[in-house]
Amino acid sequence: MADKNPIDSKESYEHALKNSQDQFYILRLYVIGSSPQSIRAISNIKNICEEHLQGRYELNVIDLHQQPQLAYGEQIIASPTLIRELPLPLRRIIGDMSNEDRVLVGLDLCPKIK
C-alpha cells in the first residue's frame, strides 16, 4: 500500500487552512501627513483588516512627515507603503490600498467568495 501524499490529503489541506486563519499579522503603514491619499490608505487598510483579520492583527500607522528618518531605515521609496512584518516573509504594498483584491493577495489572504 502506497503512502498517502500529505499535500493531497484533505486533512493536510484543512490543517494548513486552519493554521493560516490563526496567524497574527503585524502591519506598518507608512504615510506622509494627512494628504487625501494617506487618509484613504489608512481607512482602506483598517476596513480590510477588520473584515479579513478581525482580532488577529496589529496595525501601526507611521507618519513620515513626523519621523522622516524611518523612511531611510525601512527603505520606503513611495507613500503610502504597507509592510507586513509578520507572518514572514516580509511583504510591501504601495498605494492607497483601494484595490482590495491586490491588498489581499499581497497579504497572502484569500478574498471572501461573494
Give 11-51 as a DSSP string: HHHHHHHHHHHH--EEEEEEE-TT-HHHHHHHHHHHHHHHH
Is the residue at 16 inside a domain? Answer: no
Range of the domain at 99: 24-106
Look up the CATH number of the domain holding residue 45.
3.40.30.10
Write down the pLDDT at residue 10.
Answer: 54
Is the residue at 113 inside a domain? Answer: no
Is the residue at 3 inside a domain? Answer: no
Is the residue at 31 inside a domain? Answer: yes
Which range is least confidently modeled, 21-25, 26-30, 98-102? Answer: 21-25
Query: At residue 62, does pLDDT exceed 70?
Result: yes
Is the residue at 14 inside a domain? Answer: no
On average, the pLDDT of the chain sits at: 84
Write down the pLDDT at residue 11.
Answer: 59
The count of structural domains within the chain is 1
> Smallest Cα–Cα separation from 42: which of 85, 75, 81?
81
Query: What pTM did the predictor assign?
Result: 0.77
- At residue 109 the predicted structure's pLDDT band, cuts being 50, 70 and 90, is confident
Is the residue at 45 inside a domain? Answer: yes
